[in-house]
A and B are shown apart, each in its own frame.
Chain A
Amino acid sequence: MVAVAARTSRVTGRRFRSVTLGVLGLVGFALALEIGPRVGVVPIEFAPPTSQILVSMGDLLGEASFWTALLDTLRTWALGLGIAMVAGVVVGVLLGSLPIVRAATATTVEFLRPIPSVALIPLVIVLYGPTVKSTLVLVVYAAFWQVLIQVVHGVADVDPVARDTALAFRLGPWARVRYVVWPTALPYVITGFRLAASVALILTITGELVIGSPGIGKEIDTAQQSNAVRTVYALIVVTGILGVLANLLTRFVERRVLSWHPSTRGEEVVAA
């Protein structure tokens, strides 16, 4: 009992210490960015100190246009991610379960995947103009491959004994996907989801910034054009917060969906 209590208190102590250090780190970081511009390490007119950025963030929160832009960004992100997830999972399960299809498409996938999605920017501008559709194409293209590759690997990972057992018990194709393939592939699907979520956010903001479809990215561009330096920084910080929230969300989903899974998978993105 005593030993357990001592260990618990040691663990809590270490925990407490690392939280304190983390808070210290954040405060120090904010202070460095406050003091840096004030003492002239960087020009103050182009790099406002933390306090000023926070003040203009407060101003933003009171503007209706900011909330509209934020909602636009979130909607594009969620929609693009959703389409990419569904397409990636369906195509991935098909490719993974039919070896002949997989072999026939391997080269094509290998060639299409490394094409940078931003290469499509001029194309979507002439085809769809500065609309949400243009940005969605970029988001879906970039996020789709992340999901697809993970799902294909996940489906290939099915235990041969489980597969043969399912065949011996004459499970139909649908039941095999549901009870054998899906549980095996699920951790991979979730990894794909996590990777795709962050890529989709990057491309959403990029599309808005470069193509000019409505959202936070466009607001940044507008603010920069009108030389509203503090607003530019405030909006950039908002995108950072969005990124943190997206990471927290995907981690939460991962924990919820995979609570039954015996092992937590590594981070490695497997290259085909």
Chain B
Amino acid sequence: MKAIIIGNHAAGLSAAETLRKGDLSCEITVISQEDIPPYSRCLIPYLVSGEKQIDDILFKPKDFYKRNSIRTMFGQSATKIFTKEKHVLLANDKKVEYDALIIATGGTPSLPNIPGIQNKGVFGFRTLQDAKEIISYCNNVDTAIVLGGGLIGLKAAIALHKRGKKVKVIVTSPNILSQIVSSEEAKIFENYFTKQGIEIMTKTSPVKVLGKEKVEGIEIAEGKDIRCQMVVVGKGVRAHKELAEGNDIKTEYGIIVDEHCRTNVLDVYAAGDVTQSPDSVRKEKFMNALWPHAVEEGRVAAENILGKKTILKGRTSMNSIKVDDLALISCGLTGAREKVEGGEETTVKGPREMDYKRFVLKDNCLVGFSLVGNVAHAGILTSLIIKEINVEKIKDQFISGKYDFPSMLPLIRENKEKFNEPEYEEVFLFF
């Protein structure tokens, strides 16, 4: 069998690994625009801060593909998919045939559409190329402005701050992390950043990047121009789905896939940040551009190609961020991105100043939570959300902070049919 994987990151790599593990004779080809062994894009901040070097962020040994007899077409881009003829056309007009195709082309940073955004000194914050360019441009930079107060923006801010730059974060929303948590949780982080010397400017809209050729500052709608020599855009990503457009593969915000990671076209699968895939809490196909989901989708797509019929497990939005000692884990609907109709929110503060918990319940099920400060045992709450467990009986218990595995075991046992992974049997058998 001939399998083609377009993309060489979390999803593509996981797919390649799974295919090889399951079928020693399968012909696997990985096509990627980047001409380097797979690295972790999530570690780009560590490269920019100077804490890690390129070799430290490689995800697999350099000879991974060779050792696994996987053909690589690095530094090449696929331009069109012919789903009937079953081949992929490359930019150099070469055709590559497939029996099964996995599109794992990821996402592209969305740049705000303002004048001057093409100036020298404006960077995205996603690829190794971005990191290299930022690092080499950094020397003559005194002040850097980060556009966006989401996870990417904040990670960029921390990295540049660690590199010794003055950093200002411009956020249009009333608070940072506005897609993930409510203003109370965000405030804890804002205070922390301010203490570190990173300036957070909320309710501020950039309207223009100043400077003729090179960046000289940012003009904002709310007041004076802000001077800077570098702008890093951390405003989230959109699906890099162009390859699926213009043929019969169904797309919306991303490439639409089912629980087997199949697109609507036979033998064409998609995985990773490019997909719009089932969300068990929202009950619709949603863009959850997250590392764990990408790896799972890559594996599930590959296993289905191998004929295993695996399905994606329960899943929804989730995130973890840690800045020095300050940690945050959130999952599901926290009320930040969308209002939870009929949701019931409970917040718990303390004991420390940085500790804050929020639980969102709907129809007696936990649909979302965020933990700031003490994030231990978060995985249990995540499992209650994605398995859609009725938590009415133990609501007060987890609000009081008792949600370690033993405390939750009675509830888990009552819902044995949903906790059906073989590993649970190991716990239940002699209990």
Co-complex (A, B): no
Which positions in B face A, CB cutoff 8 Å?
none
